[in-house]
Amino acid sequence: MKIGQVSEKSGLPTKTIRYYESIGLVAPAGRTAAGYRAYDKNDLETLKFIQRARSLGFSIQEVSALLMLWNDRNRASAQVKELAKRHVEEIDRKVAELQSMKETLSTLIDKCHGDDRPNCPILNDLANVR
């Protein structure tokens, strides 16, 4: 398989696949005589794994750790669970922050009549005019 095929099948842009190779997230691909990257089924599975982990919001660093655990037949599932739990906590933190922003904004939006008049509680709040 050439990079276009694995891109199609993994859902990762070719650019991204080359990038992952360049940063050492995946081992350098084999090459054809012409210098094209050549992938086998195994490589594809790895890229799919990465794509799924990324889509769950794991950072490249975390994906790297997950890959190592995945390739370690003897790892304890506790390690993976721990990593996943920490990631969920991180997600929770982000959600809480966003919710808090939303709450403040929604309150301000409700107070703003939003017509042609210039008076605007949103700007007043940002300007700390209370």
Partner DNA sequence: CTTGACCTTACCATTACTGGAAGCTCCATA
Partner DNA sequence: TATGGAGCTTCCAGTAATGGTAAGGTCAAG
Residues at the contact surface with a second copy, assessed by CB under 8 A = 45, 48-49, 52-53, 55-57, 66, 69-70, 72-78, 80-82, 84-85, 87-88, 91-92, 94-95, 98-99, 101-102, 104-106, 108-109, 112-120, 122-123, 125-128
Q: Which residue, 5 or 96, is less far from a second copy as judged by CB?
A: 96
User: Judged by CB under 7 A, which stretch of 33-41, 67-75, 82-90, 120-128 contacts DNA?
Assistant: 33-41
Which partner, a second copy, DNA, none, binds residue 4 by CB below 5 to 8 Å per kind?
Answer: DNA
Asked whether the beta carbons of 66 and 23 are under 8 A apart, the reply is no
Where would I find the beta strands (DSSP E) of 1-130?
Answer: 30-31, 37-38
Interacting residues of 116 by C-beta distance below 8 A, sequence separation 6+: none
Least distance CB 101 / DNA (angstroms): 13
- Residue 98, φ and ψ in degrees, nearest 5: -65, -40
Asked whether the beta carbons of 57 and 36 are under 8 A apart, the reply is no
Q: Which residue, 13 or 114, is less far from DNA as judged by CB?
A: 13
Measured at the CA of 40, the angle between CA 43 and CA 17, to 5 degrees, comes to: 45
